[in-house]
Amino acid sequence: MRVILAQPRGFCAGVVRAIDIVERALHKHGSPVYVRHEIVHNKHVVDSLKKQGARFVEELSDVPPGAVTIFSAHGVGKTVEAQARERRLEVFDATCPLVSKVHKQGKQYAAAGRRLILIGHAGHPEVVGTMDQIPGEVLLVESVAEVGKLDFPADTPLAYVTQTTLSVDDTRAIIDALKRRFHDLLGPNAGDICYATQNRQNAARELSKQVDVLLVVGSENSSNARRLCEIAKDNGIPGYLIANGGELQADWVRNAAAVGVTAGASTPESMVQDVVAALRKLAVVELSVLPGLEEKVMFRLPPGLMDVENSGSTDERNRAAPR
Ligand code: 0JX
Ligand code: SF4
């Protein structure tokens, strides 16, 4: 069986930074540190940080007053920021700088008097945070069909921002539909879909042309990982989202001459290798990596943690990853 790994795959710069923040905060302050929401949407990452002393909560009311608290990579709204101040929490903000950039852009459009549209998935923590960062009403649009339901005049001054982990193709279709209906519309051309999301989707699309089935390693609640699975299906091959090698079903790959493997931005490389190991139990594997982009993006840590050592065990940074 030929097994081809996508490149790039797995951890993005925002995820590396977010995990780094939790581990450095633990090193600086000791256990426990509290993390609001899963730091990234990956069970293996969360479990590893729990073992190191992180405590995960959904609401700040579950954090003792004054405790060290970290906001997840997906960002938070104004309401959560205010709660943190009220409880005098010592906050380290692991919001990805590319998510913060969307918040800033949305605020600028709102300040210029434009009605704001957010293209994204309802209920996703990034969407909840972004909607609550932008003053005034923000209209959420999830599909082309929903563009048709917006009931304001064609010349209304509008602007849009987008969730960072959407499907590039779906988002382009929604933006085109908005442009067809409204004449005074501002927004970034391809939306705010981040470099990592775009690169992983491009690589998955390329890989899907060369394999019979695509395995996407990632958690169910990871938006960007789910989008990678959709790409397989859009290219006419089956795509399966699996958390690790234990979830692989022999049936999926039994008749496949070539199996593609990729991973969401929050998936550790060790889980990709776990899936490869599971494939090796089913067949003799010839492993290769699809030539692709090498990402060099890195984000700066918050000031209070820059000089702190990281002795954490989640720190894989894809160092051992085959390229
Ligand atoms: O569910 P998402 O894809 O937005 O997040 P995940 O899987 O935690 O990926 C990394 C964080 C992305 C924030 O933009
Ligand atoms: Fe940041 Fe993009 Fe990674 Fe999200 S997927 S954490 S926006 S780099």
DSSP 163-212: -TTS-HHHHHHHHHHHHHH-SSEE--TTTT--HHHHHHHHHHHHHHTT-S
Integer Cα distance of 227 and 169 in angstroms: 10
Active-site option among 23, 38, 126, 206: 126
Of 271-275, 295-299, 310-314, the range with the lowest mean pLDDT is 310-314
The number of the ligand 2 atom at minimal distance from the alpha carbon of 13 is 8
126 is catalytic: yes
Query: How many C-beta neighbours within 10 Å does residue 303 have?
Result: 8
* Residue 316 Cα to ligand 1 middle (Å): 18
Please state which CATH number belongs to domain 2-10+195-289. 3.40.1010.20
Tokens (6 digits) for 83: 């709660």
Q: What is the pLDDT of residue 310?
A: 83
Task: Please check whether the domain covering 98-191 is classified as CATH 3.30.300.180.
Answer: no
- The model's pLDDT over 160-178, given as tens digits with 9 standing for 90+, comes to 999 999 999 999 999 999 9
Q: Is the CB of 197 inside a 6 Å radius of any atom of ligand 2?
A: yes
Integer Cα distance of 222 and 317 in angstroms: 19
Q: Where in the chain are the domains?
A: 2-10+195-289, 13-96, 98-191
Q: Which amino acid is at 78?
A: K
Model confidence band, residue 320 (pLDDT cutoffs 50, 70, 90): very low
Q: Is the CB of 166 inside a 6 Å radius of any atom of ligand 2?
A: no
The 68-71 sheet, strands edge to edge: 54-57, 33-36, 68-71, 90-93
Q: Regarding the domain delimited by 13-96, which CATH topology (the fold level of the hierarchy) does it fall under?
A: Rossmann fold (3.40.50)
Has residue 210 got a pLDDT over 70?
Answer: yes
CA atoms within 13 A of residue 267's CA, in its CB half-sphere:
36
Same fold across 2-10+195-289 and 98-191? yes
Q: What is the pLDDT of residue 313?
A: 64
- Which of 41, 72, 95, 96 has most ligand 2 atoms within 8 Å of its beta carbon, as the pocket-test mutant? 96
